[in-house]
Amino acid sequence: MRSSRRALLAALAAAALAAAPAHAGEPDYEKALRESQAAIGRAVGEHRFRDTAMREVRLADYRGKPLVVSFVYTGCFQACPVATQFLARAVKQARDALGPDSFNVVSIGFNQPFDGPEAMASFARQNRISDPRWAFLAPEPRAVEALARDFGFSYSATPKGFDHITQVTIVDANGVIYRQVYGETFELPMLVGPLKELLSGEASRSLTLENVWTKVKLYCTVYDPVGGGYRLNYSLFFEIFAGLTFLGAVAWFVIRELRRARRPAA
């Protein structure tokens, strides 16, 4: 059992690590995965960045909505562009399913000082990212190590670039890491599922008509494995409506009978 678990961890971590030229000292795949998983439930620290317009941005600025975070380095010509372009397609489908402004996305350049605002802007253009709710951020060079540690992101320099774990981190509205998603590509529910859970939980905290409607829409948004995307399952709307109608009828009947029982006998 132990050997099969180790094999599974090694396979998963190997898939999560970006392809890089061979070099002395093979990365510790299991350690990278353990550190990434250990970050789940961790509150992210107060980190500061510069965006592509040279404005100062804080991670705290994104509180209030789920946040999707990826790490890239702009000198990468294979794994980072592939992962970023795939993430762009996944983000588009997630926005179609959950709402265009239901969550934010940031990509962080970890190879400092080379991944500055201009380099990050060029990387965004090269990968055709024009989502207004997706920012490309450059941290302060001295803060990269602490930032990577907070997110459980592992990387190591090589003669031709970096070996690094390829992960997408989902952070909740309070700045706590909720889920890690691995690989240059992944199944769409691995991203949309956790975002649905977070948004549904937020809608449940305040009982308003808008939040109830949001929760119903999230519940009725289901993954279609044949089409490879999300859609509204209208049959679930009818089931919910029928259930509420039945409960309303039962409540009306009970109230009517209670009133009758309280009337004095003639």
Residue, of 244 and 157, whose pLDDT is higher:
157
Q: Report the range out of 108-112, 246-250, 255-259 with the highest average pLDDT.
A: 108-112
Mean pLDDT of 138-148: 95
CATH 3.40.30.10 fits 2-185, yes or no: yes
φ/ψ of 104, rounded to 5, equals: -115, 165
Domain ranges of the chain: 2-185, 233-262
pLDDT in tens, 74-115: 999 889 999 999 999 999 999 988 999 999 999 999 999 999
pLDDT in tens, 30-76: 889 999 999 999 999 989 999 999 999 999 999 999 999 999 999 99
Helices (H), 60-172: 79-98, 117-126, 144-151
What's the whole-number average pLDDT of the chain?
81
Predicted pLDDT of residue 172:
96
Predicted pLDDT of residue 158:
87
Dihedral angle over CA of 210, 168, 39, 194, nearest 10: 30
Provide the CB-side half-sphere exposure for 54 (13 A, CA): 1
User: What global pTM score does this model have?
Assistant: 0.75
Predicted pLDDT of residue 23:
44
Predicted pLDDT of residue 22:
38
Predicted pLDDT of residue 30:
85
E strands, 174-217, are: 177-182
Q: Is the pLDDT of residue 230 over 50?
A: yes
Q: Kindly tell me the number of DSSP H helices and DSSP E strands found in the chain.
A: 8, 11
